[in-house]
Amino acid sequence: MAPSTPLLTANGVTKRFGHVQALQGADFAAYAGEVVALIGDNGAGKSTLVNVLSGTMRPDSGHIELDGRPVSFTGPSDAQRHGLETVYQDLSLAPDLDPATNLYLGREIFRGGLLRPLHVLDRPAMRRSAATAFAELGIELRDMTVPVAALSGGQRQSVAVARAVAFARKVIFMDEPTAALGVVQRGRVLDTVRRVRDRGVCVVLISHNMPEVLAVADRVEVLRLGRRVASFQAADTSIDELVGAMTGALDDKEAS
Amino acid sequence: MTTTDQVPDAPPVRGESVPWLRRALQLNEVWTFGILVLLVAFFSIAAPGKFFTTYDLTQIAVNAAIYLVLGVGMTYVIITAGIDLSIGSVLVLSAVAAAEYNIHHGGATSSWGTVAVCIVIAIVVGTAWGAFQGALVATGKIPSLIVTLGGLGAALGLAEIATGGQDPANAVSVHLQNSLGYGKLLGIPWLVIMAAVVTLVFGLILATTRFGTYTYAIGSNPAATRRAGISVGRHLIKVYALMGLMAGLGAVMWLASYGTTSIAGHSTDNLKVITAVVLGGTSLFGGRGSVLGTVIGVFIPAVLATGLIIIGVQQYWQDVAVGAVLVAAVYIDQLRRQRRDRG
């Protein structure tokens, strides 16, 4: 199902923190309209790789290409301009602000006319289009004016996901999006992931949960000790195989 | 002196019965306004015909005007989860800078031109000092408490060096005193009008603009604000510069009103203003608050002070009462915050 040319690739990415070599020449590829899971043991470099790909961190060396063109993001907002969004593990929401303000944080809609130069917010417009964005994901928020802190964990998760979905044109990175959720909400997030994929956006999913990875991902890339050690089609693999690749027990399976 | 603050952090509303009432009762401003109304009612009854007179109301407003201007700046700073202890010293430094220029350019009888330059000097000195402190806070290496504690000492020290520690004579032009200081428009003192305009303008900016939203966002979650592509450091510099601007304006108002720099008279401005802001429901933990709340918070101590004098109680009881109310206000804020925040 994946087209032949990747949407986003990383080649030979390295990143060092003091004495820790978090990435030692990591490769990665993601295709439009697929869910690709990025898995690995603790310390394998998953979060670092996603931080590099989403513009949060600068790599020490290596190449990143988007649509076949080399890119070098100056920060998360630069990556956002290129159509890449991230759902952070901590959700990255301002708890005292309402869902619409959070959705549009850094991308506010302003009133026109004389008020335009003053950057006066058009709150009704922001609430309306936020409600549309939530509805598209099947999320219903009873009151759009309450602070995010007053929402349940699942609802907060939904706000963070909706923000990424509303603005992502190419790739969404999701760092452990279901880690803090109950069973029902977990299922809902995975439905959302599939729905986003069906709109042609690539979803990069970081997860520890192997059954979940096999349930939702089209492909799985495995990191170990800062390198990609394997790449599987989700339909052709098993939990044992994934765990083997993560822990290094299956080194003969090495791909790429 | 009302702002149409639409507080973006209105607490949750779940009840269906009389939703506007429930919503209103969950706003901090409503509760603190209730306390203010009770105080006014109490003093009006305790001293019939004395408290609720034009003279007393005007006097209360004049006394509150400078603290209100400082409180507006402090509201922004505290909403970013910061604090500014230096405001009294920055006010003095701005006043001394303006006074020194005035002394050498005509003294007490200096021209309107000199008055204009003095006003500009006070505003520029305050804003620059604030921006410098903001730049230090923005590095993220030094807490605002320490930056502005250092600023408190340094600004006052510089003012004392410039004057030898004595309030200079001929510091203020009579033009400034007779206009902004004692002048009235339709019976309302210019000081009060100026404070009202500043409050209204910056209350609206906080409540309705992107600048205000970023201020709340930074206090609420600085990391998330940064990831949203917002330059947190640059915004913090602007917020502390705004606080400095307000200290500069406060210096102009003080010079106009009292005709002297009062170098030794501003050491507790910071505590008074922080108390007013917190009484008004602005959270010391950042992310929540409003200028409307600060207006109420400024008037509670002002009404208490005047009222206690009128009913013949030692006015020092005011400090006791305000202290008790302040602690209670923060305690209630904490309870409500815990109830609101799930998980």
- Exposure string over A151-160, b if 16+ CB within 10 A, otherwise e: beebbbbbbb
Checking DSSP bridges between strand A202-206 and strand A35-40, what pairing results, if any?
A: parallel
Quick check: is B294 in a domain? yes
Token digits of residue A39: 């898995």
Q: How far apart are CA B239 and CA B72, in angstroms?
A: 11
User: Minimal CA–CA distance to A79: which of A104, A108, A100, A58?
Assistant: A58
Checking DSSP bridges between strand B188-189 and strand B184-185, what pairing results, if any?
A: antiparallel
- For residue A228, what are the contacts with CB-CB under 8 A and spacing of at least 6? A26, A27, A28, A221, A222, A255, A256
Position B20 scores a pLDDT of: 65
Is residue B342 within 8 Å of A153, Cβ to Cβ? Answer: yes
What are A217-227's pLDDT values in tens digits? 999 999 888 88
Under-50 pLDDT residues of chain A: 1-2, 253-256
For residue B6, pLDDT over 60 is answered with: no
- Min Cα distance B342 → chain A (Å) is 6
Q: How far apart are CA B252 and CA B198, in angstroms?
A: 14
Quick check: is B18 in a domain? no
- Min Cα distance B288 → chain A (Å) is 7
Position B343 scores a pLDDT of: 44
- Domain A1-83+171-256 carries which CATH code? 3.40.50.300
Quick check: is B174 in a domain? yes
Is A94 in Cβ contact with B216 (below 8 Å)?
A: yes
Select the highest-mean-pLDDT range: A66-80, B16-30, B175-189, B199-213: B199-213
Quick check: is B88 in a domain? yes
Position A25 scores a pLDDT of: 87
State pTM to two decimals. 0.87
The sign one gets for the Cα dihedral B49, B51, B54, B55 is positive
Is A110 in Cβ contact with B340 (below 8 Å)?
A: no
Q: Which residue has the higher pLDDT, A40 or B6?
A: A40
Q: How many residues does chain B have?
A: 343
ipTM of the complex in this document: 0.85
Is A108 in Cβ contact with B230 (below 8 Å)?
A: no
What are B215-247's pLDDT values in tens digits? 999 999 999 998 888 999 999 999 999 999 999
Is residue A204 within 8 Å of A50, Cβ to Cβ? Answer: yes
Number of domains in chain B: 1
Average pLDDT of the segment spanning B119-128 = 96
- Exposure string over B22-31, b if 16+ CB within 10 A, otherwise e: ebeebbbbeb
Chain mean pLDDT for chain B: 86
Query: Which of A80, A121, A146 lies at the smallest CB-CB distance from B208?
Result: A121
Position B240 scores a pLDDT of: 97
User: Minimal CA–CA distance to B160: which of B64, B95, B84?
Assistant: B95
Helix, strand, or coil (residue B28)? helix
Q: Which residue has the higher pLDDT, A89 or B11?
A: A89
Is residue B117 within 8 Å of B323, Cβ to Cβ? Answer: no
Is residue B276 within 8 Å of B294, Cβ to Cβ? Answer: yes
Helix, strand, or coil (residue A27)? strand
* Sequence spans of domains, chain A: 1-83+171-256, 91-167
What are B166-192's pLDDT values in tens digits? 888 888 888 888 888 888 888 888 999
Instruction: For residue A95, list chain B residues with Cβ-Cβ distance below 8 A.
Output: 220-221, 287, 341
Instruction: For residue A80, list chain B residues with Cβ-Cβ distance below 8 A.
Output: 229
Domain range for B295 is 25-340
Position B336 scores a pLDDT of: 72
User: Minimal CA–CA distance to A145: which of A128, A165, A166?
Assistant: A128
Average pLDDT of the segment spanning B186-214 = 93
- Min Cα distance A214 → chain B (Å) is 30
Q: How far apart are CA B142 and CA B150, in angstroms?
A: 11
For residue B36, pLDDT over 90 is answered with: no
CATH number, position B38: 1.10.3470
Token digits of residue A169: 């044109």
Residue with tokens 């210019």: B190
pLDDT category at B27 given cuts 50, 70, 90 is low
Is A120 in Cβ contact with B216 (below 8 Å)?
A: no
Average pLDDT of the segment spanning B1-16 = 42
Q: How far apart are CA A111 and CA A128, in angstroms?
A: 14
Token digits of residue B3: 């702002």
What are B55-109's pLDDT values in tens digits? 777 778 888 899 999 999 999 999 999 999 999 999 999 999 999 998 888 878 8
Quick check: is B3 in a domain? no
Amino acid at B113: G
Q: How far apart are CA A228 and CA A235, in angstroms?
A: 19
Q: Which residue has the higher pLDDT, B338 or A100?
A: A100
Position A168 scores a pLDDT of: 87
Quick check: is B14 in a domain? no
Q: Which residue has the higher pLDDT, B173 or B27?
A: B173
Instruction: For residue B223, list chain A residues with Cβ-Cβ distance below 8 A.
Output: 90, 92
Q: Which residue has the higher pLDDT, B15 or B269?
A: B269
